[in-house]
A and B are shown apart, each in its own frame.
Chain A
Amino acid sequence: MTGRLIARPAKWAFLGVLTVLTVIPLLWLLVSAFKTTPELFRSPFGLPAHWSFANFIGALRAQPLVAYFRNSVTVAVVSTVATIAVSTTAAYALRHRFKLRGAINGFLMSGLFVPFTAFMTPIFFLIYHLGLYNTVWGIALVYTGTMLPVGFLIIKGYMETIPEELLEAARIDGASFHRVFLRIVFPLTVPGLATASIFLMISAWNELLFANLLSTSPSAETLQVGIRSFLTSYAANYPEAFAGTVMAMAPTILAYAILSNRVVESMAATGLK
């Protein structure tokens, strides 16, 4: 009984404090993005006198946010589609029996334990010599390479749930290797691909290190690289920097609001297999 008397308030205190710490900074940033500089310095609390979008317009004028946004979308979509294509075909091939099957499987999985940040120099030179430096394609290629192990893991786990008898039946009916893949395995893997692609898309969207390393101009810089300039060139204008930050985080929060169950599912799927 006494345990319960202590546990109840402790439970709510834990949830309450954690939720406040999580939500308040987001709300504070949102409200502050509407303030003027003097208002911000007067007090971090309180509401702005006028809810004007001047800071947002100012931030859009000062930084090519739209270009950053477009680059981020391109990189995320291209790398996700490429990773899915490469992982799906590999996972299918590895359902068959052949000599090096175990070795190749282990080789592809080994990337899960590689801290790719240690490889930034060789990867930089690889992209540079391929002529893809400072292009969205170079960044997308790096993401495809570094996300492959995770994509492969999720998709392979999903593909294993397709019963072998199904493939066997198709083969007995004379379906070829490609046909079994295109007509049976691929369609049945689609729900798993949706899950994987949301996870890959979020990872690609959020990446900073390689995007920063492989770009020098707004023609290739992604949103994560670009918003840092609010820090370096905006020391004097906090509210505009806040407005820029709010605009940068809005797309993923909106996407989450729309797709919330799917996103949660895909996050959880990475740990399922």
Chain B
Amino acid sequence: MLQRSVASRGAAREAQTIFKPPWRARARHPAHRLVKIHQLVAYLGPSVVLALAFIVFPLVFVIVMSLTAWAGIGPAKYVGIQNYVYLFHDQAFRSAIYNTLVWAAAGIFVQTPMSLLAALILARRPFMWKFFRTALFVPSVVSTTILALMWYFMLDPNVGLVNGTLKAVGLNSWTHAWLSDPSTAQFSIMVPFVIYIGFGMILFLTQISTIPREIFEAARIDGANVFQQDRYITIPAIRRAIALWVLFLVGYVMKMFEYPFVMTDGGPASTTMNLPLYVYKQMVTADAYGLAMAAGVVTVVLGALLVLVALLGLRWLESR
């Protein structure tokens, strides 16, 4: 890195001594740091336009149109907060909000501790640690759609491996139509999300590998056991990575679409509905664009609230 920097500095200097246009002489003046406006437009223009098109325009659009009744074509009729009133009386929407919170809780309180535990174990490089690391990470490179499809087959009442295993070990009474029973559907579609810990685990492992070995060595000499080392050295050292992971998870569950869409389509009786799927269904299936937009506004607000709660919670943890 350092060598390369020096080399390119040399190259740049050489290039300039060979060809040094006279009109560039003024560039020596400190004022050169003030960039010219056309340069800024050229370099920042595309990203600002994209952000306007995909953040500002949609935000304004959903807020304004959430106050209308609109079928996607033809004129939109102003209806005030009627869409919001409808939403909060709609059983499917309540279920969507509840389930979105359930996804977030499963991610933060089940999946994250499991990823952290796996990372803490594998960071000590036990027997076959490379095998475990690879095996646990593999699903992270497969798309969620395909994982959802695979678990749909796994949970199939007739050919699925889950019921097949239960029958094979004599637990016939435990076999179940997992995805079509309202009492097990939401739990079942969260299984792949919770057990695939590879992404978080790798993130934590990378962070743990940056902690200087000498610290652990010193702790060991002072008589700290493995648990104490993890508790007082490793976890505090990767606190920031854990915090970022939780924020990432919150964003991820607010966008969670594949598992409910592929595995249950929100059913049975809306028990697996979540916010993205609700917006999708109001828009694509029901042509109720005003409602879809109001649900979108609620999604944005809930997402912001969850991020805020996560940030406050992490700050509270840090202050202890």
Query: Do residues A97 and B141 form an inter-chain contact, with CB atoms below 8 A?
Result: no
Q: What is the minimal beta-carbon distance from A114 to any residue of chain B, in angstroms? A: 6
Query: In whole angstroms, what is the CA distance A226 to B111 when docked?
Result: 29
Query: Do residues B35 and A24 form an inter-chain contact, with CB atoms below 8 A?
Result: no
Binary flags per residue of A228-272, CB closer than 8 Å to B gives 1, else 0: 101100000010011001001100110110001001110110111
Query: Do residues A3 and B227 form an inter-chain contact, with CB atoms below 8 A?
Result: yes
A5: chain B residues at CB < 8 Å are none
Is A60 at the interface (CB under 8 A from chain B)? no
Q: Which residue of A lies closest to B196 (CB)?
A: A22
Query: Do residues B65 and A206 form an inter-chain contact, with CB atoms below 8 A?
Result: no
Is A208 at the interface (CB under 8 A from chain B)? yes
Q: Which residue of A lies closest to B126 (CB)?
A: A11
Query: In whole angstroms, what is the CA distance A22 to B138 when docked?
Result: 8
Is B81 at the interface (CB under 8 A from chain A)? no
Query: In whole angstroms, what is the CA distance A86 to B77 when docked?
Result: 39
Is A120 at the interface (CB under 8 A from chain B)? yes
Given known contacts A104-B44, A118-B300, A268-B203, A113 and B55 CB-to-CB distance under 8 angstroms = no
Is A55 at the interface (CB under 8 A from chain B)? no
Query: In whole angstroms, what is the CA distance A3 to B230 when docked?
Result: 15
- Which residues 88-124 of A have a CB within 8 angstroms of B? 89-90, 92-94, 96-98, 104, 107-108, 110-124
Q: Which residue of A lies closest to B295 (CB)?
A: A118
B101: chain A residues at CB < 8 Å are none
Q: What is the minimal beta-carbon distance from B201 to any residue of chain A, in angstroms? A: 10
Smallest CB-CB A-B distances: 5 pairs: A44-B164, A145-B54, A119-B58, A93-B43, A268-B206
| Cross-chain contact of B35 among A98, A205, A272 (Cβ < 8 A) | A98
Given known contacts A45-B164, A89-B46, A93-B40, A206 and B144 CB-to-CB distance under 8 angstroms = yes
Query: Do residues A89 and B225 form an inter-chain contact, with CB atoms below 8 A?
Result: no
Query: In whole angstroms, what is the CA distance A145 to B53 when docked?
Result: 8
Query: In whole angstroms, what is the CA distance A90 to B43 when docked?
Result: 6
Chain B CB within 10 Å, residue with most, of A23, A111, A152, A267: A267
Q: Which residue of A lies closest to B35 (CB)?
A: A96
Q: Which residue of A lies closest to B261 (CB)?
A: A208
Query: Do residues B53 and A148 form an inter-chain contact, with CB atoms below 8 A?
Result: no
Query: Do residues B262 and A228 form an inter-chain contact, with CB atoms below 8 A?
Result: yes
A-B contact pairs, 21 of them (CB 8 A): A19-B132, A43-B164, A89-B47, A94-B44, A98-B40, A107-B51, A113-B251, A114-B59, A115-B251, A115-B300, A118-B62, A118-B275, A119-B62, A146-B54, A163-B5, A171-B27, A174-B21, A174-B28, A208-B143, A238-B159, A268-B206
- Which residues 126-145 of B have a CB within 8 angstroms of A? 126, 132, 134-145
Number of A residues near B (Cβ < 8 Å) is: 108
Given known contacts A122-B62, A188-B5, A115 and B118 CB-to-CB distance under 8 angstroms = no
| Cross-chain contact of A208 among B142, B145, B207 (Cβ < 8 A) | B145
Binary flags per residue of B93-123, CB closer than 8 Å to A gives 1, else 0: 0000000000000000000001001100100
Query: In whole angstroms, what is the CA distance A149 to B299 when docked?
Result: 19
Query: Do residues B296 and A183 form an inter-chain contact, with CB atoms below 8 A?
Result: no
B255: chain A residues at CB < 8 Å are 115-117, 209
Chain-A contact segment, one of B8-16, B82-90, B182-190, B214-222? B8-16
Query: In whole angstroms, what is the CA distance A229 to B304 when docked?
Result: 35
Is A187 at the interface (CB under 8 A from chain B)? yes
Query: Do residues A29 and B150 form an inter-chain contact, with CB atoms below 8 A?
Result: yes
Q: What is the minimal beta-carbon distance from B17 to any residue of chain A, in angstroms? A: 8
A171: chain B residues at CB < 8 Å are 27, 32-33
Q: Which residue of B lies closest to A27 (CB)?
A: B161
Contacts A11-B126, A18-B114, A89-B47 supplied; 6 other A-B pairs, CB < 8 Å: A32-B159, A93-B40, A98-B40, A148-B54, A238-B156, A271-B245
Q: What is the minimal beta-carbon distance from B78 to any residue of chain A, in angstroms? A: 17
A270: chain B residues at CB < 8 Å are 203, 248
Query: In whole angstroms, what is the CA distance A111 to B59 when docked?
Result: 11
Is A170 at the interface (CB under 8 A from chain B)? yes
Query: Do residues A117 and B54 form an inter-chain contact, with CB atoms below 8 A?
Result: no
Is B257 at the interface (CB under 8 A from chain A)? yes
A120: chain B residues at CB < 8 Å are 276, 279-280, 283, 292, 296
Query: In whole angstroms, what is the CA distance A249 to B35 when docked?
Result: 47
Is B71 at the interface (CB under 8 A from chain A)? no
Q: What is the minimal beta-carbon distance from B307 to any residue of chain A, in angstroms? A: 6
Is A215 at the interface (CB under 8 A from chain B)? no
A224: chain B residues at CB < 8 Å are 143, 145-146
| Cross-chain contact of A263 among B141, B156, B254 (Cβ < 8 A) | B141
Q: What is the minimal beta-carbon distance from B34 to any residue of chain A, in angstroms? A: 7
| Cross-chain contact of A113 among B39, B142, B303 (Cβ < 8 A) | B303
Q: Which residue of B lies closest to A85 (CB)?
A: B46
Query: In whole angstroms, what is the CA distance A242 to B146 when docked?
Result: 10
Query: Do residues A18 and B47 form an inter-chain contact, with CB atoms below 8 A?
Result: no
Query: In whole angstroms, what is the CA distance A170 to B44 when docked?
Result: 22
| Cross-chain contact of A21 among B144, B159, B195 (Cβ < 8 A) | B195
Query: In whole angstroms, what is the CA distance A264 to B299 when docked?
Result: 31
Query: Do residues A121 and B62 form an inter-chain contact, with CB atoms below 8 A?
Result: yes
Query: Do residues B132 and A117 form an inter-chain contact, with CB atoms below 8 A?
Result: no
| Cross-chain contact of B165 among A44, A123, A146, A178 (Cβ < 8 A) | A44
Query: Do residues A264 and B137 form an inter-chain contact, with CB atoms below 8 A?
Result: yes
